[in-house]
Amino acid sequence: MLLLTLTQSVRMTTPNRHLICCLCVCVCVFDFLLTSFRTTLPAPMFSRNNFSVWGILKKCIGLELSKITMPIVFNEPLSFLQRITEYMEHTYLINKACSLSDSIERMQAVAAFAVSAVASQWDRTGKPFNPLLGETYELTREDQGYRLISEQVSHHPPVSAFHAESLVGDFVFHGSIYPKLKFWGKSVEAEPKGTITLELLKHGEVYTWTNPFCCVHNVILGKLWIEQYGTVEILNHSTGDKCVLNFKPCGMFGKELHRVEGYIQDKSKKKLCVIYGKWTECMWSMDPQTYESNKKAEKKADSKKQKSPEEPEGVDGDDADNMPEVLETVAVIPGSTLLWRISSRPQHSAKMYNFTNFAMSLNELEPGMQATLAPTDCRLRPDIRAMENGDMDQASREKERLEEKQRSARKDRSKVEEEWSTRWFQSGTNPYTSSQDWLYTGGYFDRKYSDLPDIY
């Protein structure tokens, strides 16, 4: 970490929040809420250029990544608990689903939400901090009408549980995530174990799904890039209807890069509607007949073009697996309905871990907030705070100290044969999928925090 002392970070000028606030007071309260979140970090990120990942990883092929210690320079200044909170960035889609009376349209909005929930992964190659056992994160967004609480409920294997609820009782959204990371030589693959449940309370509807796989390519050599793939099935538990979404692997020529295609079907497997687009851009829906005939016409045109096939490139070897160029954006078929479009990232995003505006705000600690937050909240983690401020030496020291503190607390517990007990979630069975899950036991927002562990 000595290298880090050599470079002095350049501080970005933070917009003067007080001035912004003053201007907003005269506008209505709603606008005030919208504008009062931080839109930048206190400091830009460090360059990773001078770190050889290969030196660290060559001994670790096939190991689970949680067992490998990486230098902090490959992190991003957010805890994994904050990272999963990014599912909530497009909560307006759940609110929309709640407001729709047509059940197919509701399923479309839910499908768009499920895709939008993983869109923040785009170009985010920084590794979030592993949460400490007992760490929590809360977020209340009155402008979007929800509040969320999450807790790290297990350390080995790492399990993060979250529970979000509408402030007006429209929906509950919860899940537990067991990210299983595998290192495959050139890439790191994350298997998203754990069920996600969305309950639309007024409609008496429950939907469940599991996120797609996520892969970070070229961890050793070449340019890092992210791929998401696999089938996501969103099940309507009231009827057995489902939405099947196929996150396509990019393939050899990159034609399918970022592409998502799927359909909503009823119990008798009749296709009711097609959903297509890219998780990095937008999602559309349309009727299956028009979609299929359009695809056939497209294929015909394609096969005419392919008279002179291009030379296929080598796929094996030690070279970097370069990200195929994004050749085209989503070709919209006339008659489609737009379900969701990604919002653009702020200009300074590239210097700040490619964060979205929403991500920029997640670790903000406003004056006065500390008095009400649980002492286990991620915002109070000194290593993440130091990294966010650009002090990498401090961040690295604090990370080591916290991990050591966690280890010695575990040793102390095992001496007296004491089991760790979770605080806000309880292990149980998901009533809809019958799978193992972690369920919120309530009470977090009563703010009685006297018996919480000292983890920082």
Closest CA to 111 of 257, 262, 258: 262
Please return the burial class of 44, using the count of CB atoms within 10 Å of its CB with bins 0-12, 13-18 and 19+: middle
Q: Least Å distance between CB 225 and ligand NAG?
A: 7
Look at the block and give the residue holding tokens 């909503």: 264
Q: Is 7 in the site for ligand NAG (CB under 6 A)?
A: yes
- Give the one residue of 135, 151, 165, 205 binding ligand NAG; rule: CB under 6 A: 205
Helix (H) or strand (E) holding 198: strand 196-200
Neighbours of 213 (CB within 10 A): 17
CB of 44 to ligand NAG, least distance (A): 11
Q: What minimum distance in Å lies between the beta carbon of 317 and ligand NAG?
A: 23
**Residue placing its CB nearer to ligand NAG in the complex, 267 or 299:** 267
Residue 322 sits in the site that holds ligand NAG (CB under 6 A): no
| Identity of the residue, 5 or 450, whose beta carbon is nearer to ligand NAG in the bound complex | 5
Nearer residue to ligand NAG within complex by CB, 297 or 350: 350
Binder of ligand NAG out of 11, 21, 22, 50 (CB under 6 A): 50
Q: Which of 9, 238, 290, 294 binds ligand NAG (CB under 6 A)?
A: 238
If binding means CB under 6 A, how many residues of this protein chain bind ligand NAG?
22
**Beta-bridge mates of residue 193:** 178
Nearest CB to ligand NAG, comparing residues 104 and 333:
104
Q: Of the two residues 126 and 390, which places its CB atom closer to ligand NAG in the complex?
A: 126
Q: How far apart are CA 280 and CA 148, in angstroms?
A: 25
Which range in 124-132, 152-160, 327-335, 394-402 contacts ligand NAG by CB under 6 A?
124-132
Per CB under 6 A, the list member of 68, 100, 104, 172 interacting with ligand NAG is 104
The span from the CA of 145 to the CA of 4, in Å, is 42
Candidates 75, 176, 210, 236; binder of ligand NAG (CB under 6 A) is 236
First to last CA, the chain: 22
* CB burial string 110-121: b at 16+ within 10 A, e below: bbbbbbbbbbbb
Is 224 a binder of ligand NAG (CB under 6 A)? Answer: yes
56 burial (CB, 10 Å; 0-12 / 13-18 / 19+) is middle
Whole-angstrom Cα distance, residue 328 to residue 122? 17
- 127-129 and 75-79 strand pairing: parallel
Nearer to ligand NAG, 116 or 356 (CB): 356
Q: Does 388 bind ligand NAG (CB under 6 A)?
A: no
Task: Name the segment binding ligand NAG (CB under 6 A); options: 47-55, 89-97, 331-339, 396-404.
Answer: 47-55
Q: Which residues contact 420 (CB under 8 A, 6 or more apart)?
A: 133, 134, 410, 413
Rounded Cα distance, 126 and 395, in Å: 15
Backbone angles phi and psi of 215, in degrees to 5: -130, 130
The minimum distance between CB 312 and ligand NAG, in angstroms, equals: 25
Which residue among 41, 57, 98, 107 contacts ligand NAG (CB under 6 A)? 107
Nearer to ligand NAG, 162 or 183 (CB): 183
Give the torsion sign (CA, 252, 254, 258, 259): negative
Among 77, 126, 158, 194, contact with ligand NAG (rule: CB under 6 A): 126
The token pair at 329 is 């954006």
334 upstream amide cis, omega within 30 of 0:
no
- Looking at 14-22, 53-61, 338-346, 347-355, which segment touches ligand NAG (CB under 6 A)? 347-355
- Alpha helices by DSSP H, listed for 217-372, are 288-305, 357-361
Binding mask 348-367 for ligand NAG (x = CB under 6 A): --x--xx-------------
Query: The tokens of 159 are what?
Result: 């399990």
Q: Phi/psi at 151 (nearest 5 deg)? A: -145, 140
The single residue among 5, 16, 47, 434 that binds ligand NAG, judged by CB under 6 A, is 47
Q: What are phi and psi of 445, to 5 degrees?
A: -80, 0
Considering beta carbons, is residue 124 or 381 the nearer one to ligand NAG? Answer: 124
Judged by CB under 6 A, the stretch of 120-128, 175-183, 420-428, 447-455 that binds ligand NAG is 120-128
- State which of residues 32, 123, 230, 439 lies at the interface with ligand NAG (CB under 6 A): 123
* Residue 96 three-state SS: helix
Give the nearer residue to ligand NAG in terms of CB position, either 125 or 166.
125
For residue 140, what are the β-bridge partners?
Answer: 147
CB of 239 to ligand NAG, least distance (A): 4
Interaction site with ligand NAG (CB under 6 A): 6-7, 47, 49-50, 103-104, 107, 123-126, 205, 223-224, 236, 238-239, 241, 350, 353-354
